């Protein structure tokens, strides 16, 4: 019997399934059951009894309580969304700009790349998790708070006054000054994105730039006509990653944890988690729908 040959797209599809298989197996074995239990908790009222934990089905009362009865849920959720809207464009722009600089040939390039990736290691908990790590974390937080108190006026007041006097729009001025105040947060959350962009830049064939140079294209034109389209799939990847990272390390996660393990309102905490998950899913769907239309895939 003749063996049918697979097309290139079929081979790519099977290879994609092969790479996805470890995550899919891990999700089914480790996460599927807890997610199902979390959904049950969100629709129930959990109470401690002498016989253990009792679960009474109450429908969507926990979801309603999160919005109407909890004193700070709406505020924290709004602040998390606003922080995401402000931080994501800044992180993407800074990551792409830094990766473009680090892709140039200069002495000490390896050291410079390591320095830009160092905040990821410090923020990942790899160093803070060892013995004495809490001391390091307290020192860093104390230094940041002291510096923020003493330099808050110098960080943004002069810039805001200068931009307003120059006739800039107040909303733009507010966004820029807010970006200045968030510079530490932006740098500390850009390491992975820089690494992804750098890998994409190194995968672009030098022959494309050589041909553009022969045709008389400037560096600015080469960036917008070659570099930007070629790394547009990675822009989409980094946007999705940055949105998830921004939501996973916000005050909302702290509020959800405190509701569950300090006040022992597991049903309400689960409802908060599902509302938060739905908000993230909607935002990701909107961003993916808008950005994917402009993505250029080079085959």
Mean pLDDT in residue range 29-56: 83
* pLDDT score, position 220: 86
Dihedral angle of Cα 257, 193, 26, 250, to the nearest 10 degrees: 10
* pLDDT score, position 153: 44
∠ CA 209-212-218, rounded to 5°: 95
- Does the pLDDT at position 296 exceed 60? yes
Question: Spelled out in words, what is the top-level CATH class assigned to the domain 56-294?
Answer: mainly alpha
Mean pLDDT in residue range 257-275: 88
For the whole model, what pTM was predicted?
0.75
pLDDT digits (tens, 9 = 90+) for 152-182: 444 555 666 666 666 666 666 666 666 666 7
Q: Quote the percentage of the chain above a pLDDT of 90.
A: 11
* pLDDT score, position 148: 47
Across the chain, mean pLDDT equals 79
Contacts of 259 (CB under 8 A, 6+ apart): 70, 265, 268, 269, 272
State the pLDDT confidence band at 131, using cuts at 50, 70 and 90.
very low
* pLDDT score, position 239: 92
Mean pLDDT in residue range 227-251: 88
Q: Of residues 270 and 117, which shows the higher confidence score?
A: 270
* pLDDT score, position 245: 86
Please give the C-alpha separations between residue 8 and each of 5, 13, 15, 171, 299, in angstroms, as whole numbers: 9, 9, 11, 50, 11
Mean pLDDT in residue range 65-83: 89
Q: Kindly list the domain boundaries of the chain, sorted by start residue.
A: 56-294
Q: Quote the percentage of the chain above a pLDDT of 70.
A: 77
* pLDDT score, position 133: 43
Contacts of 67 (CB under 8 A, 6+ apart): 73, 74, 275
| Tokens coding 30 | 């480790």
């Amino acid at each position: 019997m003749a063996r049918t040959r697979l097309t290139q797209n079929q081979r790519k599809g099977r290879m994609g399934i092969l790479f996805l298989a470890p995550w899919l197996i891990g999700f089914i074995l480790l996460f599927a059951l807890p997610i199902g239990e979390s959904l049950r908790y969100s629709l129930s009222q959990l109470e401690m009894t002498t016989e253990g934990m009792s679960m009474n089905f109450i429908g969507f009362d926990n979801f309603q309580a999160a919005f109407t009865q909890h004193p700070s849920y709406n505020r924290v959720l709004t602040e998390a969304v606003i922080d995401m809207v402000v931080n994501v464009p800044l992180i993407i722009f800074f990551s792409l700009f830094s990766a473009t600089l680090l892709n140039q040939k200069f002495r000490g390039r390896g050291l410079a790349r390591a320095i830009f990736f160092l905040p990821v290691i410090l923020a990942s908990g790899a160093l803070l998790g060892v013995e004495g790590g809490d001391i390091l974390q307290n020192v860093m937080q104390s230094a940041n708070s002291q510096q923020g108190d003493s330099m808050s006026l110098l960080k943004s007041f002069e810039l805001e006054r200068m931009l307003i006097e120059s006739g800039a729009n107040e909303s733009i001025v507010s966004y820029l000054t807010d970006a200045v105040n968030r510079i530490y947060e932006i740098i500390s959350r850009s390491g992975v994105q820089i690494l992804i962009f750098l890998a994409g830049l190194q995968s672009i064939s030098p022959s494309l730039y050589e041909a553009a140079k022969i045709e008389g294209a400037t560096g600015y034109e080469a960036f917008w006509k070659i570099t930007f389209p070629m790394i547009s799939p990675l822009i989409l990847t980094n946007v999705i990653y940055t949105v998830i990272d921004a939501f996973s390390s916000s005050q909302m996660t702290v509020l959800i944890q405190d509701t569950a393990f300090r006040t022992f309102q597991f049903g309400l905490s689960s409802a908060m988690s599902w509302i938060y998950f739905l908000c993230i899913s909607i935002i990701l769907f909107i961003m993916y729908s808008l950005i994917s239309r402009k993505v250029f895939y080079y085959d």
